[in-house]
Amino acid sequence: MSIKENYEKAKKDYEKWGVDVEAALEKLKQVPISIHCWQGDDVSGFETNQQELSGGIDVTGNYPGKATTPEELRSDLEKALSLIPGKHRVNLHAIYGETHGEVVERDELEPKHFENWVAWAKENQLGLDFNPTLFSHPKADDGLTLAHPDKEVRDFWIRHCIASRKIAAYFGKELGTPALTNIWIPDGYKDIPSDRLTPRKRLKDSLDEIFKEDIDEKYNVDAVESKLFGIGSEAYVVGSHEFYMGYAWKNNKLCLLDTGHYHPTEVVSNKISAMLLYSDKLALHVSRPVRWDSDHVVILDDELREIGLEIVRNDALDRVMIGLDFFDASINRVAAWTIGTRNMIKSLLYALLTPNEHLKQLQEDGNFTDRLALMEEFKTYPFGAIWDYYCDQMGVPVKEAWLDEVKSYEEAVLSKRQTKKEA
């Protein structure tokens, strides 16, 4: 049978349960995923005085073809985007500015250093998001930045975050869609601290200074991101979930939940409904932790499906800002973006094709037998036929056909970079 015939047959199965498949696909088209640029170059960035990766972050593998220039990175992103259905966003870190050989300290970054990114985003009809980079820098070598006891160091990072908000506002004005500016810091201690409160007071004061200037949310939306632990901050992280949740709610900022930043048995899907009760919006960085915050490429596992369900069943597609955050240098980087982003979109489609209202009513009625039975049966409904049709309608490869395009791109483009490097 053809893709259309398979779709029509599958559509009837879903319609028996009151699922409007065409409406589901229309909704899906409207959901942008913020795709992180740093998968393409292993979080290296393009600073003239480039530093070794630090801040509890590690990228393993040496697969050939890593992007080494802004042009190469944008080319790779374009290739990945051509294989992913929908219109999306790109998420930048401050280290991806273009200073054309000039050493520009991070607290001196300006919108002009990102003009090429904005021109490219306009050309490709993309929104841009932003992150100040508070790692891989001499002033972060001891694992402390905004919570540092040295005021001079703190002030440097405060200035950097202020500059980053202005850059993000520039994105929002130029592109007509607000940029999400997310602050994550590595601050913490390797061993048990003798004082947990004082660093948190300093962090609070630093954030207050950063957010002192109001920026119109038409252009920039602020978020803060917590973490449980990191390499070098195993015993204590200053910006814990409780710290940032309290700060965000008190100061009208978004709380950003990274799926790798919690206890191994703790899941972000279980937090979404609770957070949405008290916040108009919520931000996500979807990653895949394997035993720890290892940032593996996102797969369509139980937790990703549950995240999609929690967003959709709570009518929150316009309230949850979905971004990705993974990096794997052991596989083709364009393929990593494609796999992870397509899976995030699949999880939303899976949720949109679920008879959520019927399942909610079963729970309200105490009919837990039918609830469990149907939730399990829908796991093997012909979801794949609807996904194939959606990809076909959106003009991107169906099933694994995208992999052939990545292989061709690797042969024609990525492999040449390796040859150049060796030469």
Catalytic machinery residues: 184, 225, 227, 258, 261, 285, 293, 295, 325
Main-chain dihedrals φ then ψ at residue 360, nearest 5 degrees: -65, -40
- Give the integer Cα–Cα distance in Å for 151 and 363: 54
Question: How many CB atoms are closer than 10 A to CB 394?
Answer: 15
Q: Which two tokens stand for residue 158?
A: 């405060």
| Max CA distance (Å), the chain | 70
54 CB-contact burial (10 Å; exposed 0-12 / middle 13-18 / buried 19+): middle
Find the length of the chain: 423
- C-alpha distances in angstroms, 402 versus 2, 32, 338, 417? 18, 20, 8, 21
Stated as kind and residue range, the H or E segment containing 154 is: helix 151-175
- Give the integer Cα–Cα distance in Å for 327 and 329: 7
- Give the integer Cα–Cα distance in Å for 109 and 104: 7
Bridge partners (DSSP) of residue 188 are 237
- Give the integer Cα–Cα distance in Å for 349 and 110: 39
- C-alpha distances in angstroms, 99 versus 104, 137, 160, 201, 210? 7, 17, 16, 35, 24
Main-chain dihedrals φ then ψ at residue 284, nearest 5 degrees: -125, 145
Main-chain dihedrals φ then ψ at residue 314, nearest 5 degrees: -100, 15
Residue with tokens 């791109």: 409
- Give the integer Cα–Cα distance in Å for 31 and 317: 7
**DSSP label at residue 413:** I
Question: How many CB atoms are closer than 10 A to CB 144?
Answer: 25
Stated as kind and residue range, the H or E segment containing 74 is: helix 70-81
